[in-house]
Amino acid sequence: MIEIRNLSHQYGKIKALQNINLKIEAGKITSFLGPNGSGKSTLFKILATLLKPTSGEIHFFQTALLKDPHTIRRSIGVVFQSPSLDKKLTVFENMIHQGHLYGLSGTALSQKVKVLLEEFGVAQRQSSVVETLSGGLKRRVEIAKALLHDPKVLLFDEPGAGLDPGVRQDIWRFMKKLQREKQVTCLVTTHLMDEADQSDDVAILDEGHLIAYDTPYTLKQEIGGDVVHFTSTNLNLLKQNVEQTFKYPCEILGGELRLEIAHGEDVLPQLVKAFPTLIETAKLSKPTLEDVFMKRTGHGLRGERT
């Protein structure tokens, strides 16, 4: 288990993390979901022992992170948001270098590299210079590299950033496989709710605060009903009208008007009928983690303030 207690971090006057308390179960995939600037990378760097927090404590299993970062470093694999491969070296050379950093060498190391490259589907490209690989392949090599020393915990900053959905799916499949077959605990930061949705637990961050922590299912359950999204030529007018006529609290978010209705409520046709010229499109959907985020913070995940 990983336990974070009263963790805070400030960069000068900027409060990047404010009194975070979390207990993360071993063997789970936990996402830290939050918009830009919510403190995800700061938390990631602290967990990776690269940044000393202003205050608080972290325990990885029985080891205190701040007292014994060396032990922690041996048990974690880290995949950074920005590429950490040497792009002028081949895939194989990058892997071997990483192995040397962890005191591995000889045939044991090259054997291990082969197995990992095979597992991540990059074995055929092992002699390619890294800069010739696509973004998705590079990401696979990054993960393979992070796993060379058999870490118990994998830290992953924004796995999906800059990758197209298919590649993102691949990365998540790999993570789930690691979890299933090697019981690796994965801690993942993301600003994408569809990624967070695939994890076992989600810790939602906003402006350095932990605002929710539970399974995606439980968090979405709290919304209760369904969510309606409208697009309109005049969102503000539509909002006023809906609020006045139907007494639904609405919010404008990401170019849409959004309101919650109870399950099974047949209100959508009535609304569309009531404002035929104002409503361009209407969409009824199940609540998402974005709805959870909005409910708790009053603003959207994508950074808009209403």
Residues in contact with ligand ADP by CB under 6 A are 11, 14, 16, 34, 36-42
Residue 266 CB, shortest distance to ligand ADP, in Å, is 40
The dihedrals phi and psi of 12, each to the nearest 5 degrees, come to 60, -120
Q: Which does 34 bind (CB under 5 to 8 A by kind): Mg ion, ligand ADP, none?
A: ligand ADP
Q: Which does 42 bind (CB under 5 to 8 A by kind): Mg ion, ligand ADP, none?
A: ligand ADP
41 binds Mg ion (CB under 5 A): yes
Place of tokens 């975070």: 20
Residue 32 CB, shortest distance to ligand ADP, in Å, is 8
DSSP code of residue 247: -
- Contact set for Mg ion, span 185-244 (CB under 5 A): none
- Helix (H) or strand (E) segment spanning residue 295: helix 289-297
- Helix (H) or strand (E) segment spanning residue 33: strand 29-33
Query: Total binding residues for Mg ion by CB under 5 A?
Result: 2
Residue whose CB is less far from ligand ADP, 37 or 225: 37
Q: Which does 37 bind (CB under 5 to 8 A by kind): ligand ADP, Mg ion, none?
A: ligand ADP
> Helices (DSSP H) in 130-228: which residue ranges?
135-146, 165-182, 193-196, 216-221
Q: Please give the Cα distance from 258 to 229 (Å, whole number).
A: 5
* Alpha-carbon 200 to chain mean position: 12
3-state DSSP assignment of residue 240: helix
Q: Which two tokens stand for residue 128?
A: 């390619």
Residue 50 CB, shortest distance to Mg ion, in Å, is 13
Q: Which does 160 bind (CB under 5 to 8 A by kind): ligand ADP, Mg ion, none?
A: none
Residue 40 CB, shortest distance to ligand ADP, in Å, is 3
Residues that bind Mg ion (CB under 5 A): 40-41
